[in-house]
Amino acid sequence: MAIEMPRGTSGHTANERHDDEDDADTDIDDGSSDTSSVLTEIHSDDIPSYFEERDERLFLSSFHSHGNYPLPVDAREQERLTWQHRTLHALIGEHYVGPVDVVLDTDQDDRRKRVLDLGTGTGCWALDMAQQFPSARFNAIDIVPIQTRHPPNNVHFEMHDITQGFRWASGTMDVVHARSIMLAVHDYGGFLSEIARVLRPGGLFLAGELEHSVSFERGIPPSNGTQGMDRFFTVVNNVLGERGFVQTGAHIPEWLHRTRTSDGRPAFTEIHVQQYHVPIGGWRATNERERKMGRDWRNAMERYGDSVKPMLLSEASMDAHAVDELVQEYKDDLSMNGMFSVYNAVWAIRAN
């Protein structure tokens, strides 16, 4: 894995051997070579220093995260992210919405297409997409070094705080993807300006965020109420709000419309929103694929309750017993029929 360093710092990338084997990977033509001096490698012996244990969970160290990322980054949390990735693919039928295949069509010109995945997490999305589009180059960045150290030749993982700007030249990327980054970005509007900068005219921005609440299918009211669920999200959302995080998914189209280029023109056009209902459990399933999707998503939701516990213990003015009770009531409510999460998928084209 590579880590972004200040410009002028010597170093090399973890995948430099691949770049040497394939000249197309260096992308010298657009000034964004992955063998640039802005990168240095994280060696295996260095990786433990990026983590610390709190409340029996593993977190990114406060030194590297500035203490702001609220969730653990251990194997249990990575499994939750895998369930989420798998569920969204099963629900949507693809790893994306919008004209990705058109934008990455190599018949349009002989230039190698580039994709930037922001907040890549475990790297599942980038790895799956790289297999689907083997001629494209995927750069995937995250503040946590938890991705595989042996990616395929067309995937390059880097450690970087996505709120601090990107090292690539303007107009470098054909697709920029940002999924489930609500807990990593405070100023999403300003963040979109940087995305617009690195996208080529006609390039595609993909966003996806889950609403931080649950809903019920019309006509299936809860039989015993949802006090536990409601109380859980009220407490969690209040703590996240105090940290400066806001509900993101429903506002992305509005923020895209407001984003301007340096000369004041609209940065994005053809802004589209697709909303998906993710069933929690198998209450809506008619076949084994749908039953598995519901089980995976319920597992992910239950695991989320465990993942926010350390944050609640330190910031919710609740003792350990009260936090355990809050999370257990939330988990109990997840067994009700008719319950789903709302996933907002957004795509937009970078204006010329």
Stated length of the chain: 352
State residue 111's pLDDT score: 87
Q: Check: pTM over 0.85? Answer yes or no.
A: yes
Q: Could you read off the pLDDT of 58-76 as tens digits, one per residue?
A: 998 876 655 578 899 999 9
Tell me how far CA of residue 157 lies from CA of 92, 100, 147, 318, 322, in angstroms.
Answer: 25, 21, 7, 38, 40
Q: Which domains does the chain have, with CATH numbers?
A: 2-350 (3.40.50.150)
Report the alpha-carbon distance of residue 98 to residue 253 in Å, rounded.
14
Task: Write down the pLDDT at residue 9.
Answer: 28
Position of tokens 């069933």? Answer: 279
Helix H segments across the chain?
A: 16-21, 62-65, 75-92, 100-103, 124-132, 188-198, 227-242, 252-258, 288-307, 309-315, 320-333
What is the per-residue DSSP string for 303-339? HHHHHTHHHHHHHSS--HHHHHHHHHHHHHHTTSTTE
Instruction: Name residues of the chain where pLDDT drops below 70.
Output: 1-38, 63-67, 221, 223-224
Give the per-residue pLDDT at 19: 37
Contact present, 33 and 69 (Cβ < 8 Å): no
Q: Which of 5, 344, 3 is nearest to 178 (CA)?
A: 344
Find, among 169, 147, 168, 150, the residue nearest to 158 by Cα: 147
The dihedral of CA 109, 112, 116, 117: what is its sign?
A: positive
Q: Which two tokens stand for residue 56?
A: 């029996």
Contact yes or no for 33/24 (Cβ under 8 A):
no
> How many Cβ atoms from other residues are within 10 Å of residue 143's Cβ?
21
Query: What amino acid is encoded at 21 in this protein?
Result: E
User: For residue 52, which amino acid is it?
Assistant: E
Residue 145 near residue 50 (C-beta atoms within 8 A): yes
Q: What share of the chain is helix, strand, coil (3-state, %, to 5)?
A: 40, 20, 40
Q: Please give the Cα distance from 296 to 120 (Å, whole number).
A: 20
